[in-house]
Amino acid sequence: MAKANANYLKLKAGYLFPEIGRRVAAFAAANEGAKIIRLGIGDVTRPLVPAVVDAMRAAVDEMGTDGGFRGYGPEQGYDFLIDLVREHDYASRGVEIARDEVFVSDGSKCDSGNIQEIFGLDNVVALTDPVYPVYLDTNVMAGRTGAAGPDGRYAGIVYMPATAENGFVPDLPKQKVDLIYLCSPNNPTGAAAGRDELARWVEYARAHGSIILFDAAYEAYVSDPAIPRSIYEIPGAKEVAIEFRSFSKTAGFTGTRCAFTVVPKGVTAEAGGERVAVNGLWNRRQTTKFNGVSYPVQRGAAAVYSPEGRRQTGDIVRFYMENAAIIRRGLADAGFTVFGGTNAPYIWLRTPKGLTSWDFFDRLLSQANVVGTPGSGFGPSGEGYFRLSAFNSRENVEEAVARIGRATW
Ligand code: MLT
């Protein structure tokens, strides 16, 4: 009989966001007419900007001509996009990235989930807690962990708590770890790592032969010029870090799908006593399992770097950050303790009166008809916290804040 991958049975029953969707659908069915405002999943709401739409239209037209038709593209992405990434995201910040170090993809969720495939099962994985669930779940699926204990922690994973008590700056692991997932600006806490904090991680990784998997999907939301947008702004990081970037939150591509991962050729891991460049392994993985992002979508992504594209997408990022400021202020005025929301589109709050994250979710939904994300869904240290996203219309954000202010807990 065929054998299932039993590691999947170690996972919690459902992925966090579908579970939220299920509860919201049940509430909506039982409360017809309730005007539910969704500040849960971090999905953008503003349309694609005109610069992107025009570029995609032109690319589709081109594909409909004999001369402009394209079949399979390079699995790693077209050079026209890769060169823009190198120039605008890196060279402009003093970082040299080679063409063959950039891999265009259909999302940072896929890349940050798939990257663990190129590493051995015997690596010790360290995660901040709370954390974007994809990093943990994909390592559970691969068999890099034991079962989850009663405290929700999986055996074999090194958890690094990030809570109000340590200012959302997790301590370096006491033991030696091999793979370290970091996300800054952070999903879910909204905290952004400063230069010194990142420098400590790079130093740790260099001293221990570890690799940092750095998720910078929210870098466009950094407003503080002192906060690095890329881990490669830290000297020495190009030998120890892989970076994930996305057009999803930067340019409204959550449904359009385009992202990229930078795997510098200096990043190495050990195999059979030899040092192996992981760039080649990722290239091998991508060329085997992925056929690239469609040409029109890559043209749309390239248009994000045009002067109009930068202005138009910048306006949208500013709009969402104004939403974040409204949520932060409104909740603080209503007596909540709030974090994040200044360099990230997420507001992280303490649940009132010691409510569990899911109890607060249920009360918020029933009393205010507002959907958020329970902190415990991001890990044991997220218990007692709750995430609200700034992705919605101004009207809905203001209405949600007013309703939360009127609710009783
Ligand atoms: C979230 O809400 O955490 C995001 O939607 C995650 C993602 O981008 O996949």
pLDDT in tens, 41-58: 999 999 999 999 999 999
pLDDT at 199 over 80: yes
d(CA 40, ligand 1 centre) in Å: 9
For ligand 1, atom 3, name the residue with the nearest CA.
42
Helix (H) or strand (E) holding 81: helix 79-84
pLDDT at 34 over 80: yes
| Beta strands per DSSP E along 110-217 | 125-129, 158-161, 179-183, 211-215
Helix (H) or strand (E) holding 386: strand 385-389
Tell whether pTM > 0.85.
Answer: yes
Quickly state the pLDDT bin for 12 (edges 50, 70, 90). Answer: confident
In three-state secondary structure terms, 245 is: strand
Q: For residues 384-403, give the mean pLDDT.
A: 98
d(CA 207, ligand 1 centre) in Å: 32
d(CA 26, ligand 1 centre) in Å: 22
Exposure b/e, 100-117, CB count within 10 A at least 16 = b: ebbbbbbbbbbbbbbbbe
Q: For residues 3-29, give the mean pLDDT.
A: 91
d(CA 182, ligand 1 centre) in Å: 15
The dihedral built from the CA positions of residue 59, 279, 198 and 183, taken in this order, carries a sign that is: positive
d(CA 42, ligand 1 centre) in Å: 5
Give the model's pLDDT for residue 316: 98
pLDDT at 14 over 90: no
The full set of domains in the chain, from first to last, is: 7-47+308-406 (3.90.1150.10), 53-306 (3.40.640.10)
d(CA 43, ligand 1 centre) in Å: 7
Q: For residues 31-38, give the mean pLDDT.
A: 95
pLDDT in tens, 85-118: 999 999 999 999 999 999 999 999 999 999 999 9
pLDDT at 17 over 90: no
Rg (the chain; Cα; Å): 21
For ligand 1, atom 4, name the residue with the nearest CA.
42
Q: Which of 101, 126, 117, 114 minimizes the C-alpha distance to 238?
A: 101
How far is Cα 25 from Cα 350, in angstroms, rounded to an integer? 25
For ligand 1, atom 5, name the residue with the nearest CA.
42
Residue type at 374 in one-letter notation: P
Cα angle, residue 200 at apex, residues 194 and 201 outer, rounded to 5°: 95
pLDDT at 15 over 80: no
pLDDT at 13 over 80: no
- Nearest-atom number in ligand 1 for the CA of 217 is 8
**Best of 20, 187, 373 for a ligand 1 pocket test (most atoms within 8 Å of beta carbon):** 187
Q: For residues 341-347, give the mean pLDDT.
A: 98
pLDDT > 90 in the chain, percent = 97
Residues within 6 Å of ligand 1 by CB: 41-43, 109, 187, 248
Quickly state the pLDDT bin for 222 (edges 50, 70, 90). Answer: very high
pLDDT at 16 over 90: no
For ligand 1, atom 6, name the residue with the nearest CA.
42
Quickly state the pLDDT bin for 19 (edges 50, 70, 90). Answer: confident
Please state, rounded to an integer, the average pLDDT across all residues of the chain: 97
pLDDT at 70 over 80: yes
**Best of 105, 132, 253 for a ligand 1 pocket test (most atoms within 8 Å of beta carbon):** 132
